[in-house]
């Protein structure tokens, strides 16, 4: 009879622990990336009296995490990341790697992407040439800059009025050779039309290059583009010229841009060569060239398109993350550049990871080694930027389990009171 008391006590202790599991689940119903746990019971050692086996009670044999995907909500914050599928983010506190499903990352004062507790997100740095560094490390955006790029290609689409007369002072240009300083701005009778485009030197400084178009007085359907710029000393410099040949239908046949035009802006910048492309091409039906480029129609002079491939240096203004975990930097100069590749870890037995608090898991001998790779590969989930994975706690199930555990606790308490009454009767046999 005394054994029943201890058996019931084991039931009380076990149901109390189970209630603690349920309570922990419910308390974390709003915890980002939280995975609820399930409890398992096991009976205790039996004692045999002849052919009769009497159990010793119950114990809490294990708690197993429920790794089912939680609901994903949209936050709009670019550093909020959710894993849609399997895998864990890898974070480091300087002493070792830990693993988490909670993707509410922020930038700390040193430019590292960290959890709210300061654990640094791990990934691979993407080099300037697009290759990925093989060493896994902290993701730091403090040194993310976009270097200046010198202009090397200019795309222009213009219409040069076919009805225009050749300029009366077109020979003015013959007094200058490429690289020479102009004595004055080009006179209005030395050209028919001009346009200006902004280009960038190797230091990212912008410069205005003026293009002066002059109709050839002797060769039909031929124009000359003259290039003028201002150097660091404030001098007007003649950079050179380029001949444009048009077809009788007004399309551009050849812009004769074989080696480009040389510019020496000075001020510490490198001398650079810029190719000017006026849009020559071939029409597949008629075979005529230049139909998608500059034209010589009987229409007013116009500049229809200006574009170039240079840009100034830029500072980081924001980031974005794609489904493959590639972090893109958005810079003040309008450029976008790949910065880092986020790493995800998978485990053979993620159920055996140790929960250590702060939404973190630690590797154990039973979980196996982490298999680290990129999102969307090897069974790892994709990354959703601007989103968070919420807790997967099911409140309806938790409350139902709470009722069952409460009833089990009451039943075990009744065993104790009933056994106590039986012992009382036994003691009262002798009065």
Same domain (yes/no): 287, 350: no
Q: Are residues 349 and 361 in the same domain?
A: yes
Q: Is residue 318 part of a domain?
A: no
Ordered DSSP codes for 207-242: EEEEEEEEE-SSSTTEEEEEEEEE-TTS-EEEEEEE
Strands 52-54, 81-84: pairing is: unpaired
User: How far apart are alpha carbons 263 and 269 in whole angstroms?
Assistant: 10
Q: Determine the structural domain holding residue 101 and report its residue range.
A: 76-140+323-389
Of residues 121, 107, 116, the one with CA closest to residue 325:
121
> pLDDT by residue (tens digit) across 59-88?
888 888 999 999 999 999 999 999 999 999
Q: Are residues 360 and 411 in the same domain?
A: no
Say whether 301 sits in a helix, a strand or coil: coil
Q: Give the relative orientation of helices 395-427 and 2-27 as an angle to the nearest 10 degrees.
A: 160
Contact 79, 107 (CB under 8 A): yes
Q: Are residues 382 and 403 in the same domain?
A: no
Which pTM value belongs to this model?
0.81
Same domain, 160 and 303: yes
User: Does residue 332 sit in the same domain as residue 227?
Assistant: no
What's the domain count of the chain? 3
Q: What is the pLDDT, as a whole number, of residue 283? A: 46
Low-confidence spans in the chain with pLDDT less than 50? 282-286, 288-290
Cα torsion 303, 304, 310, 315: sign: positive
Query: What is the model's pLDDT at position 289?
Result: 46
Report the 10 Å Cβ neighbour count for 421.
Answer: 10
What sign does the dihedral 389-390-396-401 (CA atoms) show?
positive
Total H helices, total E strands in the chain: 2, 31
Coil/strand/helix, residue 386:
coil
Other Cβ atoms less than 10 A from the Cβ of 358: the count is 15
Q: Residue 280's pLDDT is what?
A: 64
Domain boundary among 308, 342, 373: 308
| Domain annotation covers residue 146 | no
Is there a domain that residue 337 lies in?
A: yes
Asked whether residue 297 falls in the same domain as residue 359, the answer is no
- 81 and 63 both lie in a single domain: no
288 lies in some domain: yes
Alpha-carbon distance of 162 to 301, in angstroms, equals: 9
- Whether 147 is covered by a domain: the verdict is no
How many residues make up the chain in this entry?
431
Instruction: Answer for the pair 325, 123: CB distance below 8 angstroms, yes or no.
Output: yes
For residue 337 the two structure tokens come to 């550049």
* Interatomic CA distance for residues 133 and 340, integer angstroms: 9
Q: Are both 9 and 47 inside the same structural domain? A: yes
In a domain, 211, yes or no: yes
Among 182, 188, 186, residue whose Cα is nearest residue 234:
182
| CATH of residue 245 | 2.60.98.20
pLDDT of residue 4: 78
Does any domain span residue 315?
A: no
Judgement on whether residues 62 and 117 belong to the same structural domain of the protein = no
Q: Are residues 125 and 163 in the same domain?
A: no
- Would you state the pLDDT for residue 290? 45
Q: Is residue 313 part of a domain?
A: no
Which pLDDT does position 1 carry in this prediction? 61
Residues 385 and 397 in one domain: no
């Amino acid at each position: 009879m005394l054994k029943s008391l201890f058996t019931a006590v084991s039931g009380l202790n076990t149901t109390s622990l189970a209630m603690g599991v349920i309570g922990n689940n419910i308390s974390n119903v709003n915890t980002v990336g939280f995975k609820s746990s399930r409890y398992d019971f096991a009976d205790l050692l039996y004692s045999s009296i002849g052919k009769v086996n009497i159990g010793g009670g119950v114990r809490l044999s294990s708690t197993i995490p429920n790794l089912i995907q939680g609901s994903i909500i949209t936050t709009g914050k670019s550093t909020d990341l959710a894993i849609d599928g399997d895998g864990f983010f890898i974070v480091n506190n300087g002493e070792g790697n830990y693993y988490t499903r909670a993707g509410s990352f922020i930038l700390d004062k040193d430019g590292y992407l960290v959890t709210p507790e300061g654990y640094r997100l791990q990934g691979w740095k993407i080099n300037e040439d697009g290759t990925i560094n093989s060493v896994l490390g902290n993701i730091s955006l403090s040194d993310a800059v976009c270097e200046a790029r010198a202009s090397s290609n200019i795309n222009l689409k213009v219409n040069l009025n076919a009805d225009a007369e050749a300029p009366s002072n077109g020979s003015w240009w013959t007094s200058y050779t490429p690289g020479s300083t102009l004595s004055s701005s080009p006179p209005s009778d030395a050209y028919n039309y001009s346009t200006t485009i902004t280009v960038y030197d190797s230091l990212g400084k912008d410069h205005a290059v003026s293009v002066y178009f002059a109709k050839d007085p002797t060769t039909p359907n031929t124009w000359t583009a003259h290039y003028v710029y201002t150097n660091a000393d404030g001098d007007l410099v003649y950079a050179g010229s380029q001949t444009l040949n048009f077809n009788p239908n007004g399309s551009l046949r050849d812009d004769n841009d074989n080696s480009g035009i040389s510019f020496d802006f000075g001020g510490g910048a490198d001398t650079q060569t810029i190719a000017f492309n006026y849009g020559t091409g071939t029409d597949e039906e008629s075979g005529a060239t230049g139909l998608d480029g500059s034209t010589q129609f009987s229409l007013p002079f116009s500049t229809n398109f200006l574009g170039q491939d240079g840009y100034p240096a830029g500072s980081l203004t924001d980031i974005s993350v794609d489904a493959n975990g590639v972090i893109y930097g958005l810079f003040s100069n309008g450029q976008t550049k790949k910065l880092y590749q986020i790493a995800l870890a998978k485990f053979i037995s993620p159920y055996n990871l140790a929960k250590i608090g702060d939404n973190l898991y630690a590797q154990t001998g039973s979980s196996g080694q982490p298999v680290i790779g990129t999102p969307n590969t090897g069974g790892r989930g994709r990354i959703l930027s601007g989103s968070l994975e919420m807790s997967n706690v099911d409140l309806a199930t938790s409350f139902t389990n709470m009722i069952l555990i409460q009833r089990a606790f009451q039943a075990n308490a009744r065993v104790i009171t009933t056994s106590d009454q039986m012992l009382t009767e036994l003691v009262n046999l002798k009065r």
